Amino acid sequence: MESGATGTGYEQPALTDLGTPLSEVTFCVVDLETTGLAADACGITEIGAVKVKGGQVLGEYSTLVDPGEPIDPRVTRLTGITDEMVAGAPAIGAVLPSFLEFASGATLVAHNAGFDVGFLRNACELTGTRWPRPPIVDTVVLARKLTEKSEVPNRRLGSLARLFGSPVTPNHRALDDARATVTVLHGLIERATGHGVVTDTDLVEFCRAIPSELQRRKRHLAEGLPHKPGVYIFRDADDRALYIGVSVDVAARVRSYFSAGEQRRRLRDMIASAERVEVIECAHRLEAGVAELRLISGGKPPYNRAGKNLEFRSWVRLTDEPYPRLQISRKPPEPGEPRLGPASGSQAQAAIAAIEAALPIRSCRTRLSPKRTSATCILGEIGKCAEPCRHTVSVEEYAAIAADAARALDSDPAPVAEAVAGRLAELSESERFEAAAERRDELAAFLELSASTQRVRGLVAAGEIVAAGRARGGGWEVALIRHGTLAGATRTPPRADPMPHIERLRATARSVEPVADVVDAAHAAEARLLLDWLSRDEVRLVDVDQPWACPLDGAERWTGAVTSEPGVRRGPFG
């Protein structure tokens, strides 16, 4: 079963947002050669990049680029790249998409990253390409923090490459310089781990400016905290929760708020009011993530942004009247009621637009009576509405239209997907590309919300699920899920039989009232967090109480996902 929180409006941070261990992070180390130093006045002549993960090279990227202008002879003497060499090369508009695809999903690394990133961002602006805003690590900044003058006379790439024993000598050619930077990066990461830098989040934060005097004075708040998974709560003098966070290493994460990494004005203001840090230790990162979600939703700490106002999420449902229409509501659905959600208001509105484009359901907000007619509108005149306002359809005939809408909300998006896809083809053939893009986005919002709603419903209806993910250092991280709620969690010792621990967890886990569907937005947010964890490659299903599945004709098949019986996919502890 595929899981996620796509298109929910509220984006609970994925478990990877808690910090991915550096050994599991993909880095794209890039170097550029250019016609000059100013990103807004000079062009790129060469791009070289190396993608690495866990110390292993995953791939390399190298190409010359026609800058569209003559190369300064002084630059040619430095790089060896001539006008003749780039004359037949592709322009940056042709190169940029392939490079961004190569770097997609990776943390971008460069030596003096401001230079390379500045040129890449300017190229995106000139070509109308969206800059993906990847995490960025600058090896110059790292070197300033992690090397001494006694070791290296300066932080130039050549000096650092010699210090860390690079097999490639930098020579002002993009790929060779990127290869040398890989060696420098690995050497610096090895040193950074001694400063509590263990995840990609830690590394990016470590690269930032020097800490403020206020941060220095408050460093004692990070003392004595456990190096374990858990939730940390910054509290003020009145013991009010100011900010709630989560980490797989609480001590390292809290320490980062008082170091060079934390430059956010909002959190610096929070630190100014903080008087102590409370820690709730958890068995593993999933339990910590769920605990954080519950605490933020319940306590609404002022310096947290995401997850505070789940009660304001929107649901798409049908009104209860003789001629129903689709509406956006903040009221949680009744058990078994056809609906989509919860979602942001904009996604809910887009999903409604897709359904209304496919079915002749009315969109007006007038309360219609089966006993008297009402004024019609333009949609009826152009055949986009069945016109119940004029009684052109009976209550019974209109009920069939409403039933189609209910099925689209509940289980079968095919009529909507097929109708909108046909409309997209017509608009494209007519070269009405802006209108086609709007219909495409509405359909995507509907399908994503439908798939998410069905996944959550399937998890809740499955009853009790026991799953386990491999723990770093050995053993298993076990979660006991009951009706879309985390009822208990434990971590088993390395090389021990996990089943006795699982049985004890079952006996001590909290009871959860059986439900067939989510009861409110907070329940849905927790279920989506659990689905995100269950979909990870290292997680194995141990036991499932009820059949766990999504509808065969549901939204998954339209979004490209393949749904199968989870227990057949892989066995526990295999």
**What amino acid is encoded at 523 in this protein?**
H
User: What is the domain-level CATH number for residue 230?
Assistant: 3.40.1440.10
Q: What does the pLDDT read at residue 346?
A: 92
353 lies in the same domain as 422: yes
Instruction: Count CB-CB contacts under 10 A for residue 188.
Output: 24
Q: What does the pLDDT read at residue 262?
A: 62
Closest CA to 285 of 472, 474, 524, 482: 472
Per-residue H/E/C for 36-90: CCCCCCCCEEEEEEEEEECCEEEEEEEEECECCCCCCHHHHHHHCCCHHHHCCCC
467 lies in the same domain as 520: yes
Cross-strand pairs, 62: 48
Residue 16 in any domain: the answer is no
Q: What does the pLDDT read at residue 209?
A: 52
Distance of CA 89 to the CA centre of its chain: 36
Q: Any idea which residue has 């956010």 for tokens?
A: 264
User: What whole-number distance in Å separates Cα of residue 123 and Cα of residue 129?
Assistant: 8
Residue 204 in any domain: the answer is no
Q: Are 176 and 155 in contact (CB under 8 A)?
A: no
228 lies in the same domain as 363: no
Structural domain range at position 174 = 22-197
- For residue 473, what are its two tokens? 């250092």
Residue 5 in any domain: the answer is no
User: What whole-number distance in Å separates Cα of residue 313 and Cα of residue 526?
Assistant: 14
Which positions are catalytic?
A: 172
Helix (H) or strand (E) holding 439, with range, is helix 433-461
Residue 6 in any domain: the answer is no
266 lies in the same domain as 358: no
- For residue 226, what are its two tokens? 């456990």
Q: Does a cis peptide bond (omega within 30 degrees of 0) precede residue 21? A: no
In sequence order, which ranges of 274-413 are alpha helices (DSSP H)?
Answer: 285-299, 345-358, 378-381, 395-410
| The last residue of a domain, from among 396, 427, 455 | 455
352 lies in the same domain as 469: no
Q: What does the pLDDT read at residue 49?
A: 97
User: What whole-number distance in Å separates Cα of residue 177 and Cα of residue 187?
Assistant: 15
Q: What does the pLDDT read at residue 315?
A: 95
| The last residue of a domain, from among 308, 324, 356 | 308
Q: Which residue ranges of the chain lie beneath pLDDT 70?
A: 1-18, 39-40, 208-212, 260-264, 381, 551-553, 558-574
142 lies in the same domain as 41: yes
User: What is the domain-level CATH number for residue 40?
Assistant: 3.30.420.10
User: What whole-number distance in Å separates Cα of residue 429 and Cα of residue 433?
Assistant: 9
- For residue 527, what are its two tokens? 């279920």
438 lies in the same domain as 510: no
Q: Are 483 and 509 in contact (CB under 8 A)?
A: no
**What amino acid is encoded at 516 in this protein?**
A
Q: What does the pLDDT read at residue 573?
A: 54
Instruction: Count CB-CB contacts under 10 A for residue 364.
Output: 17
Closest CA to 259 of 185, 195, 194: 195
Residue 574 in any domain: the answer is no
Q: What does the pLDDT read at residue 208?
A: 64
Residues 6+ apart with CB under 8 A from 95: 44, 47, 63, 65
Cross-strand pairs, 29: 50, 109
| The last residue of a domain, from among 395, 420, 455 | 455
Helix (H) or strand (E) holding 554, with range, is none
User: What whole-number distance in Å separates Cα of residue 45 and Cα of residue 565?
Assistant: 52
Residue 7 in any domain: the answer is no
Q: What's the domain count of the chain?
A: 4
34 lies in the same domain as 181: yes
User: What whole-number distance in Å separates Cα of residue 388 and Cα of residue 398?
Assistant: 7
329 lies in the same domain as 262: no
User: What whole-number distance in Å separates Cα of residue 160 and Cα of residue 152?
Assistant: 7
Q: Any idea which residue has 């708020």 for tokens?
A: 257
Q: Are 303 and 243 in contact (CB under 8 A)?
A: yes
Q: Any idea which residue has 């076990």 for tokens?
A: 478
Q: Please spell the DSSP secondary structure of 170-234, one letter per residue.
A: --S-HHHHHHHHHHHHHHHHHHHGGGT--BHHHHHHHTS-PPPHHHHHTGGGGTT--SSSEEEEE
227 lies in the same domain as 324: no
DSSP state of 91: B
Residue 115 in any domain: the answer is yes
**What amino acid is encoded at 212 in this protein?**
S
Q: Are 1 and 465 in contact (CB under 8 A)?
A: no
CA distances from 539 to 149, 282, 309, 365, 477 (A): 47, 18, 30, 47, 9
Residue 235 in any domain: the answer is yes
Q: Are 332 and 519 in contact (CB under 8 A)?
A: yes
Q: What does the pLDDT read at residue 495?
A: 92
Q: What does the pLDDT read at residue 369?
A: 83
480 lies in the same domain as 399: no
Distance of CA 261 to the CA centre of its chain: 21
323 lies in the same domain as 405: yes
